[in-house]
Structure 1
Amino acid sequence: MTEQPPARDDHRQIDTPDFSMVIASAVHDMKNSLGMLLSTLDDLREEQKGVLGGNPRFNTLQYEAERVHSDLVQLLGIYRLGEHKLSAHSDEHYVAEFLQEQLARHEQLLRGYGVGYDIEADEEVVGFFDAELISGVIASTLNNAIRYTRSRLQLGAREENGWLVLSIEDDGNGYPAHMQEAGDALLRAPDFSTGSTSLGLYFAAAIARLHQNNGKHGSIRLHNGGSLGGGVFEIWLP
């Protein structure tokens, strides 16, 4: 009797990818797609401003797209932090010009919501920071401020005791006490088992801390009052 060869095993071993890397790649693709969507929405608003300028549903669409885009930027940044692949590469920037660029990205949405805005910064103030990282923080904070303000926002910059302080103020109800008192707790990893992760604040605090100079590292501060009487978000950079 002829010996039969062993049955062929079609269940071959398949390498299992690093799931966190897969998620990071997907988040990166979604972020880019949303960036293109937001650019298209801006173009559409400009083309149809007589129709869409004050349309509340269009404003909501653009606002939510901006919010999700900011969330994806933060998630990607936090993944890179966890992989020790994120660092601050600081360059010299004229701060007033930098803040103008950040407002320009939200200008049409601000107008759609009827929110006024201005910048309080000396044209000569110069800062050393990673523009891409700080832009992500400001975009997220601006988007949050649009949600809670009543009618006005203000971006500011000042030098104080060797620190560059960038601020975003609104005329809303301000930050609740527990957020103002959080301090270093903002640097703890977000707790996704609760309804409020404070992802944006964790991201902002982590990005600030990446900026270091002469043994000092950046931080964020939250308080109420300011020139508009509402919430004040500050990022302190050495």
Structure 2
Amino acid sequence: MSEPKNPKTGDHPESPVSFSMIIASAVHDMKNSLGMLLHSLDGLRQEYESELGGSQRFNTLQYEAERVHSDLVQLLGLYRLGEQTLSAHAEEQFVPDFLSQQLARHRPLLEGHDLDCRIDAEDISGFFDEDLLAGVLNNTINNAIRYTKSRILITAEQRDGFLVIGVEDDGDGYPEHMQKAGTVSFKSLDFNTGSTSLGLFFASSVAGLHRDGDRRGFIKLHNDGHLGGGVFEIWLP
């Protein structure tokens, strides 16, 4: 005697695949494709430096591709956060070397926009998840490239028992309603006013995954930096 057919799935009685999982899989594929595209753009810039080095259209293409790639990385992270499968695997890292590695991927774009970016970091080590923090910094540096006028400064120091990594620019700074310290909740996102973004929510979530006893990481936004513009800080215990 044959088994009855499932009225919703015909000959397939098993439960349907989660739509969110399908989206996550598609986002993962797009992220990888964009990564290959960015690698090709870097190669073209090196090969045709004289023609493309100062091309505003090429710089815009590379910037937007980098921005979308960063967004997809964050979406995958937020999907894993919602599925409760995202955790921080903290390992000891020498902070100046880590920051130099993250900045290196942005060097061609910075030079294309004629922007000065330097690192002012203490010779310190920290315990953090390298991949998660790289995702936060890449997005933050990319935003700084968009809003700065000419200079970006990446800082790192020990403060009040926290490792504090900051990205500053000499742009117009954060509006008053965005200047805050602590965590950013999903409920606080306001797409009409642009008071915050998924990037900040992702950064806040990554910071919060880093804990030491009853202390947990957080982010801080203010305009009290060295360059007169906005300052993004991530505090890790």
Say if 1:111 and 1:193 are closer, same or farther in 2 by CA, change over 3 A. closer
Question: Match for 1:150: what amino acid?
Answer: K
Summarize deviations over 1:127-168 as a string: whole Å, max 9, x none: 000000000000000111100000010111000121100000
Structure 2 letter corresponding to 1:152: R
Q: Which residue of 2 aligns with 1:29?
A: 29
Equivalent residue for 1:5?
none
Deviation at 1:181, TM superposition (A): 3.5
The CA deviation at 1:169 is 0.4
1:17 shift after superposition:
1.6
The verdict on how the C-alpha distance between 1:159 and 1:193 changes in structure 2, with shifts beyond 3 A counting, is closer
**SS of residue paired to 1:227:** coil
Question: Are 1:190 and 1:199, in contact at CA under 8 Å, matched by a contact in 2?
Answer: no
User: Which blocks of at least 5 consecutive residues in structure 2 are unaligned?
Assistant: 1-6
- Equivalence for 1:67: 67
Q: Deviations over 1:151-208 (max 9, x none)?
A: 0101110001211000000000000111114744x12347586463610000000000
Deviations 1:13-45 (A, max 9, x none): 455320000000000000011011001100110
Q: CA RMSD in A?
A: 1.7
For residues 201 and 193 of structure 1, do their structure 2 counterparts lie closer, same or farther at Cα, with a shift above 3 Å needed?
A: closer
Q: Call closer, same or farther: CA 1:19–1:49 in 2, change over 3 Å.
A: same
Q: Look up the equivalent residue of 2:117 and give its one-letter code.
A: Y
Q: 1:74 to 1:237 in 2, by over 3 A?
A: same
Name the structure 1 match of 2:137: 138
Letter in 2 for 1:35: G
Taking structure 1 as reference, are residues 182 and 212 closer, same or farther at Cα in structure 2, changes over 3 Å only? Answer: closer
List alignment gaps of at least 5 residues for structure 1.
1-8
**What's the offset of the Cα at 1:12?**
2.2
Identity %: 58
1:152-167 matches, cutoff 5 A: 152-167=151-166
Aligned to 1:4: none
Give the C-alpha shift of residue 58 in structure 1.
Answer: 0.2
In structure 1, what residue type is equivalent to 2:36?
A: M
Runs of 4+ in structure 1 displaced over 6 angstroms? Answer: none
Letter in 2 for 1:233: F
Query: Alpha carbons of 1:193 and 1:223: their partners in 2 closer, same or farther (altered >3 Å)?
Result: closer
Secondary structure (helix, strand or coil) at the match of 2:36 reads: helix
Larger Rg: 1
Q: In structure 2, the residue corresponding to 1:140 is in which secondary structure?
A: helix
Aligned to 1:90: 90
- CA contact 2:148–2:171 (8 Å) conserved in 1: yes
One-letter amino acid of the counterpart of residue 185, structure 2: L
Whole-angstrom CA distance in 2 between matches of 1:190 and 1:36: 34
My pick for the range that moved more, 192-201 or 213-222, is: 192-201
Check the 8 A contact 1:179/1:222 in 2, yes or no. Answer: yes
SS in structure 2 of the partner of residue 225 of structure 1: coil
How many matched pairs? 227
2:121 aligned residue: 121
CA displacement 1:95-120 (0-9 Å, x = unmatched): 00100001001000000011101100
